[in-house]
Amino acid sequence: MDVVDAAQAAAQRLGVKMTLDYVEMNDPQTFDVLGARFTREDMSDPSDPVILSGAMWVGKTRLIDNIVLGDANQILGRKS
């Protein structure tokens, strides 16, 4: 996680503690965590989108975000 390490070092130079809480890939329908050995071939349809979710602490603030990897319209039920 070189990007996280670099960000932590930069924050520390500014006197801010930054700690990664988690980064996970999730099923877009159930939000179940897809295992560490997950590959697109494990999915019934490898073109289905997945959710990348993560959280980190910056000082006393916890930041949480979710990003769709793939076609978000498939999750939202819209036509592509």
pLDDT in tens, 22-79: 999 888 888 888 877 776 666 666 677 889 999 999 999 999 999 998 888 877 776 6
Number of domains in the chain: 1
Check which CATH number belongs to the domain holding 51 and give it. 3.30.1300.10
Residue 70 located in a structural domain = yes
Q: Rounded distance, CA 11 to CA 60, Å?
A: 13
12 domain residue, yes or no: no
Q: Examine residue 10 and state whether it is found in any structural domain, yes or no.
A: no
Please check whether residue 4 lies inside any domain of the structure: no
Q: What pLDDT score was predicted for residue 55?
A: 96
Is the residue at 67 inside a domain?
Answer: yes
Does a structural domain hold residue 13?
Answer: no
- Domain span at residue 41 reads 18-76
DSSP structure class, residue 70: S
Q: pTM to 2 decimals?
A: 0.70
Cα separation of 46 and 16, whole Å?
40
